Amino acid sequence: MHPFLTLCLVTAALQAAPPLAVVQVVRQGLPPYDDTGRLYRLEGDGCDLRPGRVVLLVRPGERRSLGQLEVVSAGPGYALARILKAGTTFPMKGDLAVPREPLRPLPALPGPGAALSGTEALAGPPAALALPAPPPGAIHREPIFFLPEEAVLTPGAKAKLKAWVAAWGRAGRWVLAQPPAAQPLAEARIAALREELGRLGVAEVERGTAEADPPGKYPAVFVELTSP
């Protein structure tokens, strides 16, 4: 769904009912955590979500799409959800979660011989909705973490790269930015990332330097894309 349409739907939903919020990220297993097993705890006034319900994620001041979550379990005043549709960045604590209304069948259209009323005849077909193009030069930037003393991409890291390429597109300037902290396996990690991005259809990847280290104790390389 286009970000402009998503914003309109979310605005209407926020006016209709108080939103829920992501209050906790539940990570399963041992680090580095696999994103496919990550759950998000949602809480808020009147939380009555049921398993299978879909919510849209919103972050105040954020123009990028945050994707959608699907509820997998629920209890009094809370629900646990997993990623159903990945956005351009991963959910964070404090993001708003707006329930998506289920689809309803459209009313039946008149048959070929049905006559239109005077108002319908004058109105004619609906005008095409003009949507603004995404701003050029938008920057996407996320870290890929590695196990200590390893340069092999984990299944979770490969899943992240696949989701980012699908969400961001292949066009633009791709850069692998090395944090300032010295890493003995930096070259091997850059090579592994470049190979995986090439397998996903990214033709050219540059080498760069990040200004700061990522949060956490695990070594990482930043994956950056500047949209054309």
Which whole number is the average pLDDT over 103-107? 52
User: What domains lie within the chain, and their CATH numbers?
Assistant: 3-99 (2.40.30), 139-226 (3.30.1330.60)
Span 125-182, pLDDT tens digits? 444 444 344 456 678 888 998 888 888 998 888 998 999 899 888 989 999 998 887 7
Span 67-90, pLDDT tens digits? 888 888 888 778 888 888 888 877
Which backbone phi and psi does 173 adopt, to 5 degrees?
-105, 110
- Look at residue 223 in the predicted model and tell me its pLDDT: 93
DSSP letters along 171-190, please?
-SEEEEEEPSS--TTHHHHH
Helices (H), 49-178: 118-123, 155-168
In this structure, are residues 141 and 211 in contact, taking their beta carbons and an 8 Å threshold? no
pTM above 0.75, yes or no: no
Greatest mean pLDDT among 31-45, 50-64, 115-129, 161-175 lies in 161-175
- Look at residue 136 in the predicted model and tell me its pLDDT: 64
- Look at residue 15 in the predicted model and tell me its pLDDT: 41
